[in-house]
Amino acid sequence: MALPRHIAIVMDGNGRWAEARGEPRTAGHRAGLEPVRATIKECSRLGIEALTIFAFSSENWRRPQAEVTTLMSLFMEALEREVAELHVNAVRVKVIGDRRQLGVRLQQRIAEAEALTAANTGLKLQVAVSYGGRWDILEATREVAKEVASGQLRAEDIDEARLSAALQLANLPDPDLFIRTGGNHRVSNFLLWNIAYAELYFSDILWPDFDAQALANALADFEQRERRFGMTGHQVSGAVSGGPSA
C-alpha cells in the first residue's frame, strides 16, 4: 500500500460536535483529544514518518476570550498528561507556530516536551499552535533577508531550498496528504508553502468522531490518487513514483 510519508490534518468541527449535543463548544475541544491520541497511535503503528496537526491558528485568537483560555489550558493539560507516553512510544514532539504569543508556563512545558523527545526516532509529530501559513513564510523571509543584509547571501541565490529550510517544517518532507475534517473545503492558512503538491482530502466527519477507520478511509483514497507533479499520466505511470525532482 502506498502510504503518505507526511500527513497534515486540520482538526475541525469540535464546536459543532458539542453544539449538536447541546453542550458548550469547549466540551467539543475536550472530546477532540481522544482522536488526536488515536491518530498519533495509528500513524506510529503504520510507520508513517511525520504527522502535523492544526490545533490553533493565528486567526483563532479572534475567538471569545473564554474559549481561547479553555483551549490554552487544554493544551497545557494534554502536554502534561501525554508527553511521557509519547516519549515511551518514541514520538518526537515539536510545536510549530508563534509561541511568543503563548503564556510563559505553556512555553516552558513545550520546551521541556521538545527537549525530552528530541532524540526519538519514531513518528515526527508537529503540533501547530498559534500557527499561520503566511506568518510562517514571513518569518522565513525575515530570516533570509537578514542573511542578505549581512552579506552572507546574495539575493539572486535565494532558492526554494533556502526558504524551505527557514520554514517551521524545515528538514521534513512536504505533506503528501492533507486531511480536513468538519465538512469545510478550505485551507484556513495552514501550511501554505508546504502543501503545494499535497493531495487534499475533505471529510464531513466532525473531529471528535474521527477514528482509525476514518483515517484508513483517507489513506485508501490517497492510494487511488495519481500524483503527476506537472507531468503527464503516461510519464508517471512509466516512471518510479517520486516528487518533481525524481
Does 11 participate in binding ligand IPE (rule CB under 6 A)?
yes
Identity of the residue, 24 or 173, whose beta carbon is nearer to ligand IPE in the bound complex: 24
176 contributes a contact to Mg ion by CB under 5 A: no
Among 43, 50, 51, 71, binds ligand IPE (CB under 6 A): 71
Specify the residue, 26 or 144, whose C-beta has the smaller distance to ligand IPE: 26
- Supply the minimum distance, in Å, between the C-beta of residue 12 and ligand IPE: 5
Is 12 an active-site residue?
yes
| One residue of 12, 42, 176, 199 binding Mg ion per CB under 5 A | 12
Is residue 68 part of the contact set for ligand IPE (CB under 6 A)?
Answer: no
Does residue 14 carry a catalytic annotation? Answer: no
Q: How is the chain classified by DSSP, letter by letter?
A: ----SEEEEE---HHHHHHHTT--HHHHHHHTHHHHHHHHHHHHHHT-SEEEEEEEETTGGGS-HHHHHHHHHHHHHHHHHHHHHHHHTTPEEEEES-GGGS-HHHHHHHHHHHHHHTT--S-EEEEEEEE-HHHHHHHHHHHHHHHHHTTSS-GGG--HHHHHHHSTTTTSPPPSEEEE-SS----TTSSTTTTTTPEEEE--S-GGG--HHHHHHHHHHHHH----TTS-HHHHHHSPP--TT-
Of residues 56 and 222, the one with the C-beta less far from ligand IPE: 56
Cα–chain center distance at 184 = 17
102 contributes a contact to ligand IPE by CB under 6 A: no
Please report where in the chains the cell 483517507 appears, as a residue: 218
Q: Which of residues 174-213 bind ligand IPE (CB under 6 A)?
A: 182, 184, 186, 188
Q: Is 56 in the site for ligand IPE (CB under 6 A)?
A: yes
Q: Number of residues interacting with Mg ion: please give it, by CB under 5 A.
A: 1
Residue with cell 515539536: 94
Query: Judged by CB under 6 A, which stretch of 13-21, 41-49, 91-99, 157-165 contacts ligand IPE?
Result: 13-21
Residue 54 contacts ligand IPE per CB under 6 A: yes
Please report, as ranges, the residues that interact with Mg ion according to CB under 5 A.
12
Catalytic residue set: 12, 60
Please report, as ranges, the residues that interact with ligand IPE according to CB under 6 A.
10-16, 54-57, 60, 71, 182, 184, 186, 188
